[in-house]
Structure 1
Amino acid sequence: MGALEGKLKGKTALVTGGSRGIGRGIAERLGRDGARVAVHYGSNEAAAKETVTAIEAAGGEAFAIGQELGVPGDAAALWEAFDGRADGLDILVNNAGIGASRPFATIGEAEYDRLFAVNTKAPFFLARLGAERLRDGGRIVNVSTGLSRAAMMPDTIAYAMSKGALDVFTRYLSKVLGERGITVNAVAPGIVDTDINASWLRGNEEAWAGAAAMSALGKVGTPAEIADVVAFLASHDGRWVTGQWIDATGGSLA
């Protein structure tokens, strides 16, 4: 069976944190569009293999690669694993991230450093080392957050800072790689129904209603809705958009 759609036929994509949540939604969408998808995971190999299976069941191609992020040499090790399965890259989606944080008065150095190591440093070096693999005309999409533009949840201060730095990186990198026809953009989700939010969102009617009320559309986002925005930027249709921060919060910042 062939891929369901062909916008990305012949392209190779790497989605970090592609085993669950928004990352899985992005990986599956790129796979449906015809890309061969490298599904990266940090520790949950079983979940990554489930994503690969789902992509293949829909007629696409995919493979899983594991590498913990936020540790010395993470980017180099991830690319070494990628090189063993693919020859060159067309789309890099820096989706992997951690969101745990504490109030300003209590956050410690170790947690702060970990947030920046995974959310900011890893995408920086994945892009730097990946640039030599990325073909001219390629795409980089960094997954940011609406919290980098609006202080709606003060306890996420360090997390929002790490993503704010990623936003700056996005703008500058678009200038660095633009001469090669490579676009670089950031997509910023709002509250999305994923496993990372399950502990406080799912099964709590009050929390769900409050989260939905933040959106101008009156609902909680889904991974597929974020994936569709990423897929546009990854496609030929998104070729004239670069250096941008795309609000994908469902109007939460309106």
Structure 2
Amino acid sequence: MSRIALITGGNRGLGRATALALIDAGIEVIYTHRGDPGEKIDAVALPLVVGDLDSYGDFEASLRQVLADRHGRADFDFLINNAGVGRAGTIAGTPVEAFDELLDVHFRGVFFLTQRLLPLIADGGRIVNLSTGLTRFTGEGMYAAYASMKGAVEVFTRYLAKEVGPRGITANVVAPGPVATEFGGGYLRDDEGVRAQIGGLTAMGRVGEPADVSGVIAALVGPGTGWVTGQRIEASGGMLL
């Protein structure tokens, strides 16, 4: 029986890199997007706005249909909560609207999407939530709200691991450091000066690339990591050690 992964925000960046890594590993992929499915890959794309709780019922129905029609199953194996938005700002300068968007996408949406999908995750499955290295280091003080939401995800993941453990399901967090993607406007991908500056703060001497993080996620859903749960795994190249 094929293994199936659901990745939120799989149309670009780390989500797209993770989708490709899992496909290479022989895993069937379903991914979500907010209107642009991205470049065509061998996967099923479903629209979903993470944080819009009113749409979750329709999304679940679509997911169940794909699982039945394409795979002959009523469940899937791996949930990867990756979708996100980047909003920089000091505590003094963060507007309520930006705070609420970060809350909806990064914590409230993740919490309740996971809640809804738990009955569809097969026993023995894996859940991987994305956090950020900014829960450990402060990023020049510009990401207080964003990092706070991710800190909540890390606590949520420990409680989740405890709750789903009796079903043989693991739950872990991957916390990337700076990665060269479109996230936050793509400055880490496109600005060589910024890349050099940030890369100089890592033990590995460079900014991360999407494959650096997608490989960690793929390992956590692989056959050799079933005894790892409730853990925060930072993939930052040794940022600010």
Letter of the 1:120 partner, please give it. F
1:251 maps to 2:233: no
Letter of the 2:225 partner, please give it. G
Match runs of 1:182-201 below 5 Å: 182-201=169-188
Q: Please give the TM-score of this superposition, normalised by the length of structure 1.
A: 0.88
1:17 maps to 2:4: no
CA contact 1:21–1:223 (8 Å) conserved in 2: yes
1:102 to partner: Cα distance: 1.8
1:36 maps to 2:13: no
1:127 to partner: Cα distance: 1.2
**Residue number in structure 2 paired with 1:79:** 60
Deviations, residues 156-187 of structure 1 (Å, cap 9, x unaligned): 10000000000000111000000000000000
Name which of 214, 219, 230 aligns with 1:227.
Answer: 214
Q: Distance in 2 between matches of 1:141 and 1:253?
A: 24
Unaligned runs of 5+ in 1: 1-8, 57-61
**Residue number in structure 1 paired with 2:191:** 204
1:122 to partner: Cα distance: 1.2
**Residue number in structure 1 paired with 2:46:** 65
Letter of the 2:25 partner, please give it. D
Name which of 158, 166, 188 aligns with 2:145.
Answer: 158
1:83 to partner: Cα distance: 1.0
**Residue number in structure 2 paired with 1:175:** 162
Matched position secondary structure for 2:44: strand
Q: Distance in 2 between matches of 1:253 and 1:180?
A: 37
1:150 to partner: Cα distance: 1.6
1:195 to partner: Cα distance: 1.1
Match runs of 1:107-118 below 5 Å: 107-118=94-105
Letter of the 1:118 partner, please give it. V
**Residue number in structure 1 paired with 2:134:** 147
CA contact 2:131–2:174 (8 Å) conserved in 1: yes
Identical-pair percentage? 39
CA contact 1:88–1:134 (8 Å) conserved in 2: yes
Q: Distance in 2 between matches of 1:93 and 1:72?
A: 18
Letter of the 1:76 partner, please give it. G
RMSD between aligned residues: 1.4
Q: Which moved more, 1:203-212 or 1:84-93?
A: 203-212
Letter of the 2:49 partner, please give it. E
Q: 1:245 to 1:158 in 2, by over 3 A?
A: same
**Aligned pairs, number:** 235
Q: Distance in 1 between matches of 2:190 and 2:216?
A: 28
Q: Distance in 2 between matches of 1:232 and 1:252?
A: 21
Letter of the 2:172 partner, please give it. N
Letter of the 1:35 partner, please give it. I
Unaligned runs of 5+ in 2: 68-73
Q: Please give the TM-score of this superposition, normalised by the length of structure 2.
A: 0.93
CA contact 2:179–2:188 (8 Å) conserved in 1: no
